Structure 1
Amino acid sequence: MNLLLLLYAEFFKIGLFAVGGGLATIPFLEELIDMYHWITQEDLINIIAVAESTPGAVGVNAATFMGYSTAGVLGGIIAVLGLITPSIIIIVIVAKIFHKFKSNSYVKAAFYGIRPVAAGIIGAAGISVAMIAFGIEDLITGASTAYLATVFNILLGLLFFFAIEKFKKHAIVYIAVGAILGILIV
């Protein structure tokens, strides 16, 4: 299959099934990494870090990066188009018919049922990212320095959590401090 067509098809599937927003795309992106090795797991974590601290959606930024890494500028464009096409189709259909069915009990029940699924997908993605970010994955695989790194990362995460709760500064302050610490420590 042509690489550009494959990029479009894979990101179309992600766009179709990643209910709940950008973070819900992460499990699907991890599956792509396992299947095609277009980027590394570390690249994905970096994409998430950058995407969460810059304007734009995680899924769109990841699609752009994966597409570009795989097939250049055209690959980035094709991957993003694949990701957003299902949303555009669904929005057009819903806009045409939603006003007729918005009070239908089945429609209400379906939306009610989708909420926990989206929360579960986002929660699973958060756990996956946390395991990599805190070094827990390295600890499980038995990397030599994993224990100290994992403890340090967890303590640093807790420190930031409590700082956020206590000082209530804008998120960009914590992102900047985290970036500076990352540069200094690594």
Structure 2
Amino acid sequence: MKKLLTMYWTFFKIGAFTFGGGYAMIPLIEAEVVTRRNWISKEEFVDIIVISQSFPGALAVNCSTFIGYKLGGLMGAILALLGVIMPSFFIILVVAALFVEFRNNYIIDLIFKGIGAAVPILILVAITSLFKSVKKTYINYIIIILSIIAIAVFKVSPIWVVICSALYGIIFLRKQVE
């Protein structure tokens, strides 16, 4: 039970101090569950990120739920989920209650602009960390480049990129896994 409460508190802190959505949370989740606490390996974390992106819903919510389930079954999944969403829930309640009064406040505007400037860097840290775990093969580099071109240039939905990459893996990479 102590481990489950520690996990809840860990995800609560991550949820409370991360702005910018799920991708901005990835480096913090990795630092806590992989590096600091050694609850899961780097490879397991990458697998959880891939699975979490494949499911509907917020990345950080899915990721925390999977990690919680791995560590503590159904109760772990529930506690990790509650841990990561409760801070946002309470913050949104407070912001909604005070928004009308403070929406034109100069200092509040500056605070959000400052936080907004840090979010892209958090996402870049997540991308860099995940890239380090990808096997460095020509085919993986080609898939990365084609994915970037498809999304950035041709405005293909990331969902289609994930589906096509999954199909490629099933069809052409099957022998490498066996």
Q: Is the TM-score greater than 0.5?
A: yes
- 1:87 matched residue in structure 2: 88
Please give the alpha-carbon distance, in whole angstroms, between the structure 2 residues aligned to 1:166 and 1:103: 37
1:15-26 map, 5 Å: 15-26=15-26
Question: Identity rate of aligned residues, in percent?
Answer: 38
- 2:103 matched residue in structure 1: 102
Which deviates more, 165-174 or 41-50? 165-174
Please give the alpha-carbon distance, in whole angstroms, between the structure 2 residues aligned to 1:53 and 1:65: 12
1:1-186 map, 5 Å: 2-31=2-31, 32-133=33-134, 135=135, 149-164=136-151, 168-183=155-170, 184-185=172-173, 186=176
* Partners of 2:143 and 2:165 within 8 A in 1: no
TM-superposed CA distance for 1:90, in Å, is 0.6
- Residue 23 of structure 1 aligns with an amino acid whose one-letter code is Y
Please give the alpha-carbon distance, in whole angstroms, between the structure 2 residues aligned to 1:35 and 1:89: 27
TM-superposed CA distance for 1:169, in Å, is 4.2
TM-superposed CA distance for 1:164, in Å, is 4.3
- Residue 79 of structure 2 aligns with an amino acid whose one-letter code is I
Please give the alpha-carbon distance, in whole angstroms, between the structure 1 residues aligned to 2:153 and 2:115: 34
Please give the alpha-carbon distance, in whole angstroms, between the structure 1 residues aligned to 2:58 and 2:21: 8
Structure 1's 60 and 110: CA in aligned 2 closer, same or farther, altered over 3 A?
A: same
* Partners of 1:66 and 1:76 within 8 A in 2: yes
TM-superposed CA distance for 1:119, in Å, is 1.4
Structure 1's 160 and 101: CA in aligned 2 closer, same or farther, altered over 3 A?
A: closer
Which deviates more, 75-84 or 1-10? 1-10
TM-superposed CA distance for 1:45, in Å, is 1.5
Q: Deviations over 1:69-123 (max 9, x none)?
A: 1111001100110111110111111111121111111011111111111111111
Please give the alpha-carbon distance, in whole angstroms, between the structure 2 residues aligned to 1:46 and 1:161: 20
Please give the alpha-carbon distance, in whole angstroms, between the structure 1 residues aligned to 2:131 and 2:53: 14
Please give the alpha-carbon distance, in whole angstroms, between the structure 2 residues aligned to 1:165 and 1:103: 35
TM-superposed CA distance for 1:177, in Å, is 1.7
Gaps of 5+ in 1: 136-148
Please give the alpha-carbon distance, in whole angstroms, between the structure 2 residues aligned to 1:166 and 1:93: 40
Please give the alpha-carbon distance, in whole angstroms, between the structure 2 residues aligned to 1:128 and 1:106: 34
Give the aligned length: 172
TM-score (norm 1): 0.83
